[in-house]
C-alpha cells in the first residue's frame, strides 16, 4: 500500500525533530557570542577583563553543550547552578554593564525544557532573586527599575520555553495517537477481511443446507416412489400410474424449491405457511411415497414462533423422515412437537432397525446441517436409540424472548 501524506510525515518526523533541535542552538550561540562581545568591549582596558573572560567561558561551558546529552539529574542541576553563578559574578564584577543579565534570558528556555515545570520555575525564581539582590544591593532602590525590566525578560523567556515544551509534548502525543490510529486501521482492515471470508463461508453452508434439506428430500421421496411403481407396473398399472403422478408432482415441487433457493437464496416452506400445516403436508407426502405410517402430534399450547424457528423445526422433521425412509426400514414413525419449560422440543422417532453400532454417520451432511441450525439458535440436537426399538431424533430450541421475536 502506498503511504499517504500523513504516513510520510510520520516516517520523517524524527529527522524533522532533529533538525529543529539543531536550529534552536543557532540563536543560543549567536546570543551568547553577541552578549559576550558587547560586554568585553565595554570592559576593554580594565583590570576586570580577564576575570570576565573566565566567567564567560565558565558560563559557555555550562550552557552551550546540549543539556540532553547529560543523563544524570544532579549534573543538570550543577550545570544550571554554575551558569547562574557565572552570570551573577559578571553582574557584580561590573555593575554598570547591563548586557550580562541577558545571558539568563538564553538560559530560561533551556531550564524549562529540561526540568519539570515546578523545578524549572524554582530555578527561574532563583535567577530572578539573585538579580534583585545584586541590583538593589549595588544601586539601592534605583536598581529596582532595571530589575523589573530583566525580571520581565526572565518571565517572557521562561514562558517561551514552557510553550516549546507543551508544543513538543503535543507533537509526541499526536504522533502516538496517529500510530495507534494506523494500527487500529490495520486491525479493522484485517477484521473486515475475516468477516467477509466468514460471511461467504456461512452463506455457502446455508445454501448447501437448503439444497440438501429441500431438493434432497424431494428426490428421496421420488426415488422410493419410482421403486414402488417399477414393482407395480405389471401387477397394478393403475396404482403405478398414480405413483408416477405423485413422483411428477414431487419433482415439480423440487424444481420450484431449487429455483427459489438459487434465485432468492432462500427456500422456506415453513415461511410460506404455518408450521402445523407445513408438517401435515410433509407427513402426507411421505406416507403417499412409502408404507410408513406417521403420527403427528403438536401441542396446542405451542406459542407463535419466529420464521427462523419454524424453518429450523420444519427442516429437522424433514431430515428425520428422510433418514427413516433411507435407513430405518420402519413401519411406523412419530413426530411430536411440544413446549418444555422455556424451550420447544421436536421428537422424530421410528420403530425401525435402530442405530448402527458405530452410531450415526459423522459425515452425514443432513445431520451436520441440523447441528448447525441448532447452534445458530442456541439449541441442541441429538440422535439416540428409541426405547422399545428404533431411533429418536431430538431437536430442542430455547423459546425466544418477546423482544427477540
Q: Decide if pLDDT at 8 tops 50.
A: no
Predicted local distance difference test score (pLDDT) of residue 22: 53
Q: Which of 356, 277, 271, 278 is nearest to 308 (CA)?
A: 271
114 belongs to a structural domain: yes
Percent of residues, the chain, with pLDDT higher than 70: 80
**Same domain flag for 14 and 137:** yes
**Same domain flag for 57 and 171:** yes
Q: How many domains are there within the chain?
A: 2
The model's pLDDT over 290-337, given as tens digits with 9 standing for 90+, comes to 778 999 999 988 888 888 899 899 989 988 888 887 777 888 999 999
Predicted local distance difference test score (pLDDT) of residue 313: 92
The whole domain housing 9 covers: 5-186
Predicted local distance difference test score (pLDDT) of residue 266: 39
- Of residues 2 and 188, more confidence is placed in 188
Q: What does the mean pLDDT of the chain come to?
A: 79
Q: Which of 67, 96, 69 is nearest to 82 (CA)?
A: 67
43 belongs to a structural domain: yes
353 belongs to a structural domain: yes
284 belongs to a structural domain: no
Predicted local distance difference test score (pLDDT) of residue 272: 60
Beta bridge partners of 339: 344
Final residue before a domain boundary, out of 170, 186, 202: 186
Interacting residues of 38 by C-beta distance below 8 A, sequence separation 6+:
99
Q: Which of 135, 168, 177 is nearest to 16 (CA)?
A: 168
The 10 Å Cβ neighbour count of residue 101 is 25
Q: Decide if pLDDT at 283 tops 80.
A: yes
The model's pLDDT over 242-269, given as tens digits with 9 standing for 90+, comes to 877 877 777 777 777 666 555 444 334 4
**Same domain flag for 172 and 294:** no
Taking the C-alpha atoms of residue 333 and residue 321, their distance in angstroms, rounded to an integer, is 8
Interacting residues of 395 by C-beta distance below 8 A, sequence separation 6+:
312, 313, 316, 345, 346, 347, 348, 370, 374, 379, 380, 381
* Residue entry with cell 420403530: 351
Interacting residues of 197 by C-beta distance below 8 A, sequence separation 6+:
none
151 belongs to a structural domain: yes
Predicted local distance difference test score (pLDDT) of residue 404: 47
Predicted local distance difference test score (pLDDT) of residue 297: 93
Looking at residue 328, the DSSP 8-state letter turns out to be: I
Percent of residues, the chain, with pLDDT higher than 90: 11
Interacting residues of 70 by C-beta distance below 8 A, sequence separation 6+:
76, 79
- Of residues 91 and 313, more confidence is placed in 313
Predicted local distance difference test score (pLDDT) of residue 53: 87
391-398: strand order across its sheet: 293-298, 332-340, 343-350, 391-398, 380-385
Secondary structure (3-state) at 395: strand
CA dist list (Å): 257 to 224, 269, 272, 373? 20, 9, 12, 19
239 belongs to a structural domain: no
Average pLDDT of the residues in 284-294: 82
Phi, psi (degrees; rounded to nearest 5) at 46: -100, 165
- Choice among 5-14, 164-173, 231-240, 260-269 with the minimum mean pLDDT: 5-14
C-alpha torsion 189→192→194→196, nearest 10: -140
**Same domain flag for 36 and 170:** yes
Specify whether the CB–CB gap between 377 and 309 falls below 8 A. yes
**Same domain flag for 47 and 162:** yes
Final residue before a domain boundary, out of 132, 160, 186: 186
DSSP string, 267-308: --HHHHS-HHHHHHHHHHHHHHHSS-EEEEEE-TTPPP--HH
Counted residue by residue, the chain has a size of 405
- Of residues 168 and 184, more confidence is placed in 184
269 belongs to a structural domain: no
Predicted local distance difference test score (pLDDT) of residue 268: 45
The CATH number of whichever domain residue 340 belongs to comes to 3.30.565.10
The model's pLDDT over 180-195, given as tens digits with 9 standing for 90+, comes to 888 888 888 788 778 7
Amino acid at each position: 500500500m502506498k503511504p499517504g501524506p500523513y504516513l510520510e510525515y510520520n516516517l520523517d518526523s524524527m529527522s524533522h525533530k532533529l533538525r529543529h533541535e539543531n536550529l534552536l542552538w543557532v540563536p543560543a550561540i549567536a546570543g551568547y557570542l553577541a552578549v559576550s562581545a558587547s560586554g568585553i568591549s565595554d570592559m576593554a582596558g580594565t583590570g576586570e577583563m580577564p576575570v570576565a573572560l573566565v566567567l564567560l567561558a565558565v558560563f559557555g561551558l555550562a550552557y552551550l553543550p546540549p543539556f540532553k546529552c547529560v543523563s544524570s539529574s544532579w549534573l543538570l542541576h550543577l550545570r544550571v547552578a554554575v551558569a547562574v553563578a557565572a552570570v551573577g559574578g559578571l553582574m557584580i564584577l561590573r555593575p554598570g554593564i547591563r548586557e550580562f543579565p541577558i545571558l539568563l534570558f538564553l538560559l530560561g528556555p533551556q531550564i524549562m525544557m529540561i526540568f519539570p515545570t515546578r523545578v524549572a520555575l524554582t530555578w527561574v525564581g532563583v535567577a530572578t532573586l539573585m538579580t534583585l539582590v545584586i541590583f538593589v544591593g549595588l544601586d539601592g532602590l534605583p536598581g529596582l527599575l532595571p530589575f523589573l525590566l530583566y525580571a520581565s525578560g526572565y518571565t517572557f523567556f521562561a514562558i517561551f520555553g514552557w510553550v516549546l515544551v507543551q508544543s513538543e509534548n503535543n507533537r509526541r502525543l499526536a504522533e502516538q495517537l496517529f500510530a495507534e490510529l494506523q494500527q487500529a486501521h490495520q486491525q479493522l482492515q484485517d477484521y473486515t477481511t475475516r468477516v467477509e471470508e466468514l460471511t461467504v463461508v456461512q452463506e455457502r453452508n446455508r445454501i448447501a443446507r437448503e439444497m440438501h434439506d429441500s431438493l434432497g428430500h424431494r428426490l428421496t421421496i421420488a426415488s422410493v416412489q419410482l421403486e414402488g411403481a417399477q414393482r407395480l407396473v405389471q401387477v397394478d398399472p393403475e396404482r403405478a400410474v398414480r405413483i408416477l403422478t405423485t413422483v411428477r408432482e414431487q419433482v415439480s415441487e423440487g424444481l420450484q424449491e431449487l429455483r427459489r433457493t438459487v434465485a432468492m437464496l432462500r427456500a422456506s416452506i415453513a415461511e410460506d405457511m404455518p408450521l402445523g400445516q407445513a408438517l401435515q403436508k410433509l407427513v402426507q407426502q411421505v406416507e403417499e411415497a412409502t408404507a410408513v405410517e406417521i403420527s403427528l402430534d403438536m401441542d396446542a399450547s405451542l406459542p407463535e414462533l419466529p420464521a427462523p424457528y419454524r424453518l429450523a423445526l420444519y427442516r429437522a422433521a424433514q431430515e428425520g423422515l428422510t433418514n427413516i425412509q433411507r435407513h430405518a426400514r420402519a413401519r411406523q414413525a412419530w413426530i411430536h412437537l411440544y413446549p418444555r419449560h422455556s424451550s420447544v422440543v421436536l421428537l422424530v422417532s421410528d420403530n425401525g432397525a435402530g442405530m448402527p453400532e458405530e452410531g450415526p454417520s459423522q459425515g452425514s451432511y443432513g445431520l451436520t446441517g441440523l447441528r448447525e441450525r441448532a447452534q445458530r439458535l442456541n439449541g441442541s440436537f441429538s440422535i439416540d436409540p428409541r426405547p422399545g426399538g428404533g431411533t429418536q431424533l431430538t431437536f430442542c430450541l430455547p423459546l425466544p424472548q418477546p423482544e427477540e421475536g
